[in-house]
Amino acid sequence: MMNLYDHIPNNVNLSEDKKLQRALEKWLPNYLDWWREMGPDGFQEKDVWLRTAVDVGSEGWAHFDYVKMPEYRWGIFLEPPQPDAIVGFGDNYGRPAYQEVPGEFRNALRRIIVTQGDTEPASVEQQRQLGKTCPSLYDLRNLFQVNVEEGRHLWAMVYLLHGYFGRDGRDEADALLERRSGNPDKPRILEAFNQPCDDWLNFFAFTMFTDRDGKYQLSALAESGFEPLARTCQFMLTEEAHHMFVGDTGLGRVVRRTAQLMKEGDVRELSGIPLEIIQKYINFWFSYSLDLFGGEISSNSADFFAAGLKGRYKEREQYADHLATNENFTMTIVADGQLKSREVPLRNALNEVLRGEYVKDCEKGLARWNKVLADEGVGERLFLPHPRFHRHVGEFAGHTFDIEGNLISREEFERRKDEWLPTAEDREYVRSLMHPVYEPGKIANWIAPPAAGIKGKPFEFEYVRL
Ligand SMILES: [Fe+2]
Ligand SMILES: [Fe+2]
Protein backbone atom coordinates (compact mmCIF):
# COMPACT_ATOMS: atom_id res chain seq x y z
CA MET A 1 0.00 0.00 0.00
CA MET A 2 1.01 3.63 -0.44
CA ASN A 3 2.25 5.45 2.64
CA LEU A 4 2.57 8.78 0.91
CA TYR A 5 2.58 10.95 4.00
CA ASP A 6 5.05 8.97 6.04
CA HIS A 7 8.27 10.76 6.87
CA ILE A 8 9.70 8.79 3.97
CA PRO A 9 6.88 8.16 1.46
CA ASN A 10 6.94 4.53 0.36
CA ASN A 11 5.01 1.54 -0.87
CA VAL A 12 7.24 -1.03 0.82
CA ASN A 13 5.58 -0.96 4.26
CA LEU A 14 8.60 0.75 5.73
CA SER A 15 6.84 1.32 9.06
CA GLU A 16 6.81 -2.46 9.58
CA ASP A 17 10.58 -2.71 9.31
CA LYS A 18 11.72 -0.49 12.17
CA LYS A 19 15.40 -1.17 11.72
CA LEU A 20 15.39 -0.20 8.06
CA GLN A 21 13.14 2.77 8.73
CA ARG A 22 15.50 4.07 11.41
CA ALA A 23 18.51 3.62 9.15
CA LEU A 24 16.86 5.54 6.31
CA GLU A 25 15.64 8.26 8.66
CA LYS A 26 19.22 8.70 9.76
CA TRP A 27 20.34 8.99 6.17
CA LEU A 28 17.60 11.52 5.28
CA PRO A 29 19.12 14.65 6.93
CA ASN A 30 22.48 13.86 5.31
CA TYR A 31 20.72 13.61 1.99
CA LEU A 32 19.05 17.00 2.55
CA ASP A 33 22.42 18.52 3.48
CA TRP A 34 23.83 17.16 0.25
CA TRP A 35 20.85 18.54 -1.72
CA ARG A 36 21.32 22.01 -0.25
CA GLU A 37 25.06 21.97 -0.86
CA MET A 38 25.15 20.30 -4.29
CA GLY A 39 21.60 20.55 -5.67
CA PRO A 40 20.42 23.45 -7.87
CA ASP A 41 22.30 26.62 -6.89
CA GLY A 42 19.60 29.09 -5.86
CA PHE A 43 15.84 28.57 -6.41
CA GLN A 44 15.50 26.38 -3.30
CA GLU A 45 12.78 28.57 -1.78
CA LYS A 46 10.89 29.00 -5.08
CA ASP A 47 7.67 27.26 -6.00
CA VAL A 48 8.27 24.87 -8.89
CA TRP A 49 5.43 23.12 -10.71
CA LEU A 50 6.65 19.57 -10.22
CA ARG A 51 5.38 16.10 -10.75
CA THR A 52 5.57 13.84 -7.72
CA ALA A 53 5.12 10.07 -7.75
CA VAL A 54 2.02 9.19 -5.74
CA ASP A 55 1.38 5.69 -7.01
CA VAL A 56 3.13 3.12 -9.15
CA GLY A 57 0.07 2.13 -11.22
CA SER A 58 0.13 3.10 -14.88
CA GLU A 59 -2.96 5.28 -14.29
CA GLY A 60 -2.29 8.61 -12.64
CA TRP A 61 0.90 7.83 -10.75
CA ALA A 62 2.04 11.40 -11.11
CA HIS A 63 0.66 14.36 -9.21
CA PHE A 64 1.44 17.91 -10.43
CA ASP A 65 1.62 20.90 -8.09
CA TYR A 66 3.83 23.74 -6.89
CA VAL A 67 6.52 22.44 -4.55
CA LYS A 68 9.67 23.93 -3.04
CA MET A 69 12.43 21.54 -4.02
CA PRO A 70 13.74 20.72 -0.51
CA GLU A 71 10.15 19.74 0.38
CA TYR A 72 9.82 17.32 -2.54
CA ARG A 73 8.35 13.97 -1.45
CA TRP A 74 11.35 11.81 -2.22
CA GLY A 75 10.09 8.34 -1.70
CA ILE A 76 10.69 4.64 -2.18
CA PHE A 77 8.41 3.19 -4.81
CA LEU A 78 8.65 -0.29 -6.26
CA GLU A 79 6.42 -1.90 -8.83
CA PRO A 80 4.11 -4.39 -7.11
CA PRO A 81 5.49 -7.93 -6.80
CA GLN A 82 4.44 -10.43 -9.44
CA PRO A 83 3.02 -13.64 -7.98
CA ASP A 84 5.18 -16.59 -9.06
CA ALA A 85 8.03 -14.37 -10.26
CA ILE A 86 10.86 -16.44 -11.69
CA VAL A 87 14.46 -15.93 -12.66
CA GLY A 88 13.94 -15.01 -16.29
CA PHE A 89 17.26 -16.08 -17.84
CA GLY A 90 20.65 -17.66 -17.21
CA ASP A 91 21.62 -20.86 -15.46
CA ASN A 92 18.80 -20.60 -12.91
CA TYR A 93 16.16 -19.86 -15.51
CA GLY A 94 12.67 -20.79 -14.27
CA ARG A 95 13.53 -21.03 -10.56
CA PRO A 96 11.69 -18.73 -8.11
CA ALA A 97 13.01 -15.16 -8.18
CA TYR A 98 15.54 -14.26 -5.46
CA GLN A 99 14.06 -12.27 -2.57
CA GLU A 100 17.48 -11.99 -0.95
CA VAL A 101 20.86 -11.33 -2.49
CA PRO A 102 22.47 -14.58 -3.71
CA GLY A 103 25.53 -14.96 -1.47
CA GLU A 104 28.20 -15.55 -4.08
CA PHE A 105 27.13 -12.46 -6.04
CA ARG A 106 26.75 -10.16 -3.09
CA ASN A 107 29.82 -8.04 -3.82
CA ALA A 108 29.19 -7.85 -7.54
CA LEU A 109 25.56 -6.91 -7.08
CA ARG A 110 26.43 -4.27 -4.52
CA ARG A 111 28.90 -2.84 -7.04
CA ILE A 112 26.20 -2.69 -9.73
CA ILE A 113 23.81 -0.88 -7.39
CA VAL A 114 26.47 1.53 -6.13
CA THR A 115 27.60 2.32 -9.67
CA GLN A 116 24.04 2.99 -10.80
CA GLY A 117 23.30 4.91 -7.60
CA ASP A 118 26.40 7.09 -8.02
CA THR A 119 25.20 8.44 -11.37
CA GLU A 120 22.03 9.90 -9.85
CA PRO A 121 23.51 12.52 -7.48
CA ALA A 122 26.39 13.04 -9.93
CA SER A 123 24.08 14.38 -12.63
CA VAL A 124 22.41 16.74 -10.15
CA GLU A 125 25.87 18.08 -9.27
CA GLN A 126 26.81 18.47 -12.93
CA GLN A 127 23.66 20.49 -13.57
CA ARG A 128 23.61 22.65 -10.48
CA GLN A 129 24.45 25.97 -12.13
CA LEU A 130 22.12 25.66 -15.11
CA GLY A 131 19.13 27.40 -13.51
CA LYS A 132 20.99 30.70 -13.78
CA THR A 133 21.00 30.56 -17.60
CA CYS A 134 17.70 28.84 -18.41
CA PRO A 135 16.23 29.67 -21.85
CA SER A 136 12.65 29.77 -20.45
CA LEU A 137 10.62 29.00 -17.33
CA TYR A 138 9.39 25.84 -19.06
CA ASP A 139 12.98 24.63 -19.40
CA LEU A 140 13.85 25.72 -15.88
CA ARG A 141 11.02 23.59 -14.54
CA ASN A 142 12.10 20.61 -16.63
CA LEU A 143 15.65 20.92 -15.30
CA PHE A 144 14.38 20.87 -11.72
CA GLN A 145 12.03 17.98 -12.47
CA VAL A 146 14.97 15.94 -13.73
CA ASN A 147 17.03 16.96 -10.68
CA VAL A 148 14.45 15.96 -8.06
CA GLU A 149 13.80 12.65 -9.80
CA GLU A 150 17.51 11.85 -9.94
CA GLY A 151 17.43 12.55 -6.21
CA ARG A 152 14.59 10.04 -5.89
CA HIS A 153 16.56 7.49 -7.91
CA LEU A 154 19.37 7.88 -5.42
CA TRP A 155 16.80 7.08 -2.72
CA ALA A 156 15.74 3.99 -4.64
CA MET A 157 19.30 2.64 -4.75
CA VAL A 158 19.97 3.59 -1.14
CA TYR A 159 16.87 1.67 -0.12
CA LEU A 160 18.34 -1.46 -1.72
CA LEU A 161 21.74 -0.89 -0.10
CA HIS A 162 20.24 -0.36 3.36
CA GLY A 163 17.63 -3.06 2.98
CA TYR A 164 19.72 -5.89 1.55
CA PHE A 165 23.43 -5.31 2.20
CA GLY A 166 23.69 -4.64 5.93
CA ARG A 167 26.65 -2.74 7.29
CA ASP A 168 28.61 -2.35 4.06
CA GLY A 169 25.43 -1.27 2.28
CA ARG A 170 25.03 1.54 4.81
CA ASP A 171 28.65 2.59 4.32
CA GLU A 172 28.15 2.68 0.56
CA ALA A 173 25.00 4.78 1.02
CA ASP A 174 27.03 7.30 3.00
CA ALA A 175 29.78 7.33 0.38
CA LEU A 176 27.21 8.18 -2.31
CA LEU A 177 26.78 11.54 -0.58
CA GLU A 178 30.53 12.10 -0.23
CA ARG A 179 31.84 11.75 -3.78
CA ARG A 180 31.55 14.85 -5.98
CA SER A 181 31.27 15.15 -9.74
CA GLY A 182 34.53 16.37 -11.27
CA ASN A 183 36.37 16.51 -7.95
CA PRO A 184 39.89 15.07 -8.53
CA ASP A 185 40.16 13.81 -4.94
CA LYS A 186 36.76 12.12 -4.67
CA PRO A 187 35.31 11.88 -8.19
CA ARG A 188 32.11 10.13 -9.21
CA ILE A 189 32.68 6.55 -10.38
CA LEU A 190 31.98 6.85 -14.12
CA GLU A 191 33.76 9.35 -16.36
CA ALA A 192 30.69 10.74 -18.16
CA PHE A 193 29.51 11.87 -14.74
CA ASN A 194 32.66 13.86 -14.08
CA GLN A 195 32.37 15.90 -17.29
CA PRO A 196 31.16 19.47 -16.94
CA CYS A 197 27.55 20.05 -17.98
CA ASP A 198 27.60 23.81 -17.66
CA ASP A 199 25.53 25.04 -20.58
CA TRP A 200 22.13 24.05 -21.91
CA LEU A 201 23.40 22.42 -25.07
CA ASN A 202 25.40 20.11 -22.81
CA PHE A 203 22.32 19.55 -20.68
CA PHE A 204 20.14 18.53 -23.61
CA ALA A 205 22.87 16.28 -25.06
CA PHE A 206 23.41 14.77 -21.61
CA THR A 207 19.73 14.00 -21.02
CA MET A 208 19.43 12.65 -24.58
CA PHE A 209 22.49 10.40 -24.57
CA THR A 210 23.60 9.82 -20.98
CA ASP A 211 20.17 9.45 -19.40
CA ARG A 212 19.44 7.07 -22.27
CA ASP A 213 22.32 4.88 -21.16
CA GLY A 214 20.51 4.87 -17.82
CA LYS A 215 17.38 3.61 -19.55
CA TYR A 216 19.25 0.61 -20.96
CA GLN A 217 21.08 -0.20 -17.73
CA LEU A 218 17.83 0.04 -15.78
CA SER A 219 16.01 -2.04 -18.39
CA ALA A 220 18.61 -4.80 -18.08
CA LEU A 221 18.32 -4.65 -14.28
CA ALA A 222 14.51 -4.53 -14.49
CA GLU A 223 14.80 -8.09 -15.86
CA SER A 224 16.81 -9.15 -12.82
CA GLY A 225 16.01 -12.34 -10.94
CA PHE A 226 16.76 -10.37 -7.74
CA GLU A 227 13.22 -9.15 -7.41
CA PRO A 228 13.62 -6.04 -5.25
CA LEU A 229 16.09 -4.69 -7.81
CA ALA A 230 13.84 -5.54 -10.76
CA ARG A 231 10.80 -3.85 -9.19
CA THR A 232 12.83 -0.75 -8.23
CA CYS A 233 14.22 -0.32 -11.72
CA GLN A 234 10.86 -0.89 -13.39
CA PHE A 235 9.44 2.11 -11.62
CA MET A 236 12.53 4.29 -12.14
CA LEU A 237 12.10 3.76 -15.89
CA THR A 238 8.74 5.51 -15.87
CA GLU A 239 10.43 8.65 -14.54
CA GLU A 240 13.49 8.28 -16.75
CA ALA A 241 11.35 8.53 -19.88
CA HIS A 242 10.72 12.21 -19.12
CA HIS A 243 14.46 12.95 -18.83
CA MET A 244 15.06 11.60 -22.31
CA PHE A 245 12.07 13.56 -23.57
CA VAL A 246 13.70 16.72 -22.21
CA GLY A 247 16.96 15.94 -24.03
CA ASP A 248 15.45 14.72 -27.26
CA THR A 249 12.96 17.58 -27.68
CA GLY A 250 15.42 20.11 -26.26
CA LEU A 251 18.02 19.29 -28.91
CA GLY A 252 15.25 19.15 -31.51
CA ARG A 253 14.22 22.70 -30.58
CA VAL A 254 17.82 23.93 -30.83
CA VAL A 255 18.08 22.28 -34.25
CA ARG A 256 14.83 23.91 -35.37
CA ARG A 257 15.96 27.37 -34.29
CA THR A 258 19.36 26.92 -35.94
CA ALA A 259 17.66 25.85 -39.19
CA GLN A 260 15.44 28.94 -39.07
CA LEU A 261 18.45 31.19 -38.53
CA MET A 262 20.39 29.45 -41.35
CA LYS A 263 17.71 30.64 -43.74
CA GLU A 264 18.05 34.20 -42.46
CA GLY A 265 21.81 34.49 -42.67
CA ASP A 266 24.92 33.63 -40.68
CA VAL A 267 23.91 31.67 -37.57
CA ARG A 268 26.70 33.11 -35.45
CA GLU A 269 25.92 36.68 -36.44
CA LEU A 270 22.31 35.96 -35.53
CA SER A 271 23.38 34.58 -32.12
CA GLY A 272 22.31 31.01 -32.78
CA ILE A 273 24.21 27.73 -32.34
CA PRO A 274 25.77 26.57 -35.64
CA LEU A 275 24.91 23.04 -36.71
CA GLU A 276 28.58 21.98 -36.62
CA ILE A 277 28.77 22.84 -32.92
CA ILE A 278 25.60 20.83 -32.25
CA GLN A 279 27.23 17.92 -34.13
CA LYS A 280 30.35 18.15 -31.97
CA TYR A 281 28.30 18.04 -28.77
CA ILE A 282 26.51 14.96 -30.13
CA ASN A 283 29.90 13.35 -30.85
CA PHE A 284 31.16 14.14 -27.36
CA TRP A 285 28.21 12.90 -25.31
CA PHE A 286 27.40 9.91 -27.51
CA SER A 287 30.97 8.59 -27.26
CA TYR A 288 31.20 9.10 -23.49
CA SER A 289 27.80 7.45 -23.06
CA LEU A 290 28.87 4.39 -25.09
CA ASP A 291 31.67 3.86 -22.56
CA LEU A 292 29.08 3.45 -19.81
CA PHE A 293 28.09 0.04 -21.19
CA GLY A 294 31.51 -1.40 -20.29
CA GLY A 295 33.95 -3.53 -22.24
CA GLU A 296 32.88 -5.20 -25.50
CA ILE A 297 34.10 -8.58 -24.29
CA SER A 298 33.27 -9.04 -20.65
CA SER A 299 33.36 -11.99 -18.30
CA ASN A 300 31.35 -9.92 -15.79
CA SER A 301 28.49 -9.65 -18.24
CA ALA A 302 28.60 -13.43 -18.68
CA ASP A 303 28.63 -14.02 -14.91
CA PHE A 304 25.74 -11.65 -14.28
CA PHE A 305 23.67 -13.20 -16.99
CA ALA A 306 24.47 -16.73 -15.83
CA ALA A 307 23.45 -15.78 -12.30
CA GLY A 308 20.17 -14.28 -13.49
CA LEU A 309 21.07 -10.82 -12.19
CA LYS A 310 21.34 -8.66 -15.32
CA GLY A 311 19.44 -9.59 -18.45
CA ARG A 312 19.24 -8.30 -21.98
CA TYR A 313 17.02 -5.43 -23.09
CA LYS A 314 13.42 -6.71 -22.99
CA GLU A 315 14.75 -10.19 -22.19
CA ARG A 316 11.30 -11.66 -21.57
CA GLU A 317 9.59 -10.00 -24.50
CA GLN A 318 12.24 -10.06 -27.15
CA TYR A 319 13.98 -13.44 -26.81
CA ALA A 320 12.88 -17.06 -26.98
CA ASP A 321 16.15 -18.60 -25.79
CA HIS A 322 16.87 -17.31 -22.27
CA LEU A 323 19.96 -19.44 -21.76
CA ALA A 324 22.11 -17.97 -24.53
CA THR A 325 24.66 -20.74 -24.12
CA ASN A 326 25.12 -21.98 -27.67
CA GLU A 327 25.32 -18.78 -29.63
CA ASN A 328 28.32 -16.75 -30.70
CA PHE A 329 28.57 -13.07 -31.40
CA THR A 330 30.82 -11.62 -34.08
CA MET A 331 32.75 -8.67 -32.76
CA THR A 332 35.17 -6.26 -34.37
CA ILE A 333 38.34 -5.80 -32.36
CA VAL A 334 41.79 -4.31 -32.89
CA ALA A 335 44.59 -6.86 -33.25
CA ASP A 336 48.11 -6.27 -34.61
CA GLY A 337 47.20 -2.69 -35.45
CA GLN A 338 44.25 -3.73 -37.61
CA LEU A 339 40.51 -4.16 -37.30
CA LYS A 340 39.67 -7.87 -37.19
CA SER A 341 36.54 -9.79 -36.49
CA ARG A 342 36.36 -12.33 -33.71
CA GLU A 343 33.73 -14.79 -32.56
CA VAL A 344 32.95 -14.63 -28.87
CA PRO A 345 30.42 -16.58 -26.79
CA LEU A 346 27.23 -14.52 -26.71
CA ARG A 347 27.21 -14.30 -22.92
CA ASN A 348 30.56 -12.52 -23.04
CA ALA A 349 29.23 -10.03 -25.56
CA LEU A 350 26.17 -8.84 -23.65
CA ASN A 351 27.55 -5.36 -22.95
CA GLU A 352 27.93 -4.96 -26.69
CA VAL A 353 24.44 -6.37 -27.33
CA LEU A 354 22.96 -3.82 -24.92
CA ARG A 355 25.08 -1.06 -26.48
CA GLY A 356 23.68 -2.05 -29.88
CA GLU A 357 20.12 -1.58 -28.62
CA TYR A 358 21.10 1.83 -27.29
CA VAL A 359 22.65 2.90 -30.60
CA LYS A 360 19.45 1.94 -32.44
CA ASP A 361 17.44 4.07 -30.02
CA CYS A 362 19.80 7.03 -30.46
CA GLU A 363 19.46 6.74 -34.24
CA LYS A 364 15.73 7.35 -33.88
CA GLY A 365 16.51 10.62 -32.14
CA LEU A 366 18.83 11.63 -34.96
CA ALA A 367 16.08 10.81 -37.47
CA ARG A 368 13.67 13.09 -35.58
CA TRP A 369 16.18 15.98 -35.61
CA ASN A 370 16.90 15.42 -39.30
CA LYS A 371 13.19 15.54 -39.98
CA VAL A 372 13.15 18.97 -38.29
CA LEU A 373 15.94 20.06 -40.67
CA ALA A 374 14.01 18.70 -43.64
CA ASP A 375 10.77 20.36 -42.50
CA GLU A 376 12.62 23.67 -42.25
CA GLY A 377 13.96 23.18 -45.76
CA VAL A 378 17.62 22.90 -44.77
CA GLY A 379 19.82 20.40 -46.64
CA GLU A 380 22.41 19.57 -43.93
CA ARG A 381 21.96 16.51 -41.72
CA LEU A 382 23.18 15.44 -38.28
CA PHE A 383 24.57 11.96 -37.62
CA LEU A 384 25.93 9.69 -34.91
CA PRO A 385 29.68 9.17 -34.90
CA HIS A 386 30.89 5.61 -35.37
CA PRO A 387 30.77 3.71 -32.04
CA ARG A 388 34.57 3.23 -32.17
CA PHE A 389 35.16 6.99 -32.21
CA HIS A 390 36.60 8.62 -29.05
CA ARG A 391 36.27 5.69 -26.70
CA HIS A 392 37.88 5.43 -23.27
CA VAL A 393 36.60 2.04 -22.16
CA GLY A 394 36.77 -1.38 -23.81
CA GLU A 395 38.39 -2.77 -26.96
CA PHE A 396 38.81 0.58 -28.68
CA ALA A 397 40.24 2.55 -25.77
CA GLY A 398 43.90 3.25 -26.42
CA HIS A 399 43.34 3.33 -30.19
CA THR A 400 42.32 6.30 -32.25
CA PHE A 401 39.61 6.41 -34.91
CA ASP A 402 38.13 9.02 -37.16
CA ILE A 403 34.45 9.92 -36.98
CA GLU A 404 33.62 7.09 -39.41
CA GLY A 405 35.42 4.48 -37.31
CA ASN A 406 38.58 4.11 -39.43
CA LEU A 407 41.69 3.36 -37.44
CA ILE A 408 44.03 6.38 -37.61
CA SER A 409 47.27 7.35 -35.91
CA ARG A 410 47.26 9.29 -32.68
CA GLU A 411 48.98 12.16 -34.51
CA GLU A 412 46.21 12.30 -37.08
CA PHE A 413 43.58 12.20 -34.36
CA GLU A 414 45.26 15.05 -32.51
CA ARG A 415 45.52 17.03 -35.73
CA ARG A 416 41.84 16.55 -36.59
CA LYS A 417 40.05 16.29 -33.27
CA ASP A 418 38.88 19.93 -33.37
CA GLU A 419 36.75 18.99 -36.39
CA TRP A 420 34.92 16.42 -34.28
CA LEU A 421 34.88 17.46 -30.65
CA PRO A 422 33.92 20.76 -29.00
CA THR A 423 36.91 23.09 -28.71
CA ALA A 424 37.43 25.56 -25.89
CA GLU A 425 36.23 28.29 -28.29
CA ASP A 426 33.09 26.33 -29.20
CA ARG A 427 32.25 25.94 -25.53
CA GLU A 428 33.04 29.58 -24.89
CA TYR A 429 30.77 30.62 -27.76
CA VAL A 430 27.86 28.47 -26.54
CA ARG A 431 28.32 29.85 -23.04
CA SER A 432 28.26 33.40 -24.43
CA LEU A 433 24.68 32.78 -25.64
CA MET A 434 23.42 31.58 -22.28
CA HIS A 435 21.46 34.39 -20.64
CA PRO A 436 18.52 33.59 -18.39
CA VAL A 437 14.99 34.19 -19.63
CA TYR A 438 12.72 34.26 -16.59
CA GLU A 439 9.61 35.89 -18.04
CA PRO A 440 6.65 33.52 -18.55
CA GLY A 441 6.04 32.85 -22.25
CA LYS A 442 9.43 34.25 -23.37
CA ILE A 443 12.25 32.20 -24.84
CA ALA A 444 15.96 32.63 -25.60
CA ASN A 445 16.94 33.38 -29.19
CA TRP A 446 19.01 30.21 -29.74
CA ILE A 447 16.17 27.72 -29.17
CA ALA A 448 12.61 27.28 -30.50
CA PRO A 449 9.67 27.05 -28.07
CA PRO A 450 8.29 23.59 -27.30
CA ALA A 451 5.39 22.21 -29.33
CA ALA A 452 3.26 22.02 -26.17
CA GLY A 453 3.47 22.84 -22.47
CA ILE A 454 3.40 20.35 -19.63
CA LYS A 455 0.35 18.34 -18.56
CA GLY A 456 -2.09 20.48 -20.54
CA LYS A 457 -0.62 23.80 -19.38
CA PRO A 458 0.41 26.30 -22.08
CA PHE A 459 4.03 27.30 -22.69
CA GLU A 460 3.17 30.70 -21.11
CA PHE A 461 2.30 29.07 -17.78
CA GLU A 462 4.34 30.23 -14.78
CA TYR A 463 6.17 26.93 -14.28
CA VAL A 464 8.47 28.44 -11.66
CA ARG A 465 7.40 31.35 -9.44
CA LEU A 466 10.46 33.52 -9.10
FE1 LIG B 1 18.03 8.49 -12.83
FE1 LIG C 1 17.60 10.47 -15.56
In 317-393, at which residue ranges do the beta strands (DSSP E only) sit? Answer: 328-335, 338-345
Nearest to 256 by CA among 449, 453, 448, 451: 448
Per residue in 91-124, pLDDT (tens digit) is 999 999 999 998 988 998 999 999 999 999 999 9
Q: What percent of the chain has pLDDT over 90?
A: 89
pLDDT the model gives residue 321? 94
How much is the CA Rg of the chain, to the nearest whole Å?
A: 22
- Distance (angstroms) between ligand 2 centre and the Cα of 95 equals 32
The predicted model scores a pTM of: 0.96
Q: What is the mean pLDDT of the chain?
A: 95
pLDDT per position as a tens digit, 288-336: 999 999 999 999 999 999 999 999 999 999 999 999 998 999 999 999 9
Give the H/E segment covering residue 393.
Answer: none
- What is the whole-number distance in angstroms between the Cα of residue 380 and the centre of ligand 1? 33
Which residue blocks in 307-349 are alpha helix, DSSP H?
315-318
Q: Which ligand is nearest to the CA of 247?
A: 2
- How far apart are the CA of 236 and the centre of ligand 1, in A? 7
Cα–Cα distance for residue pair 464/139, rounded to 1 Å: 10
Confidence label for 56 from pLDDT (cuts 50, 70 and 90) = confident
Of the bound ligands, which one is closest to the alpha carbon of residue 120? 1
User: Alpha-carbon distance 401 to 377, whole Å?
Assistant: 33
- Of 396, 399, 424, which is closest to residue 413 (Cα–Cα)? 399
Judged by its nearest atom, the ligand closest to the C-alpha of residue 146 is: 2
Residue 150 pLDDT exceeds 70: yes
400 Cα: distance to centroid of ligand 1 (angstroms): 31
Residue range 213-254, pLDDT digits in tens: 999 999 999 999 999 999 999 989 989 999 999 999 999 999
Cα(231) to centroid(ligand 1), Å: 15
Nearest to 207 by CA among 279, 289, 265, 125: 289
| Average pLDDT of the segment spanning 446-453 | 97
Question: Which one of the ligands is nearest to 243 CA?
Answer: 2
Of 97-106, 203-212, 446-455, least confident by mean pLDDT is 97-106
5 has a pLDDT exceeding 70: no
Using CB atoms within 10 Å of the CB of residue 62, give its burial: 0 to 12 exposed, 13 to 18 middle, 19+ buried.
Answer: middle
Between the CA of 215 and the centroid of ligand 1 the distance, in Å, is 8
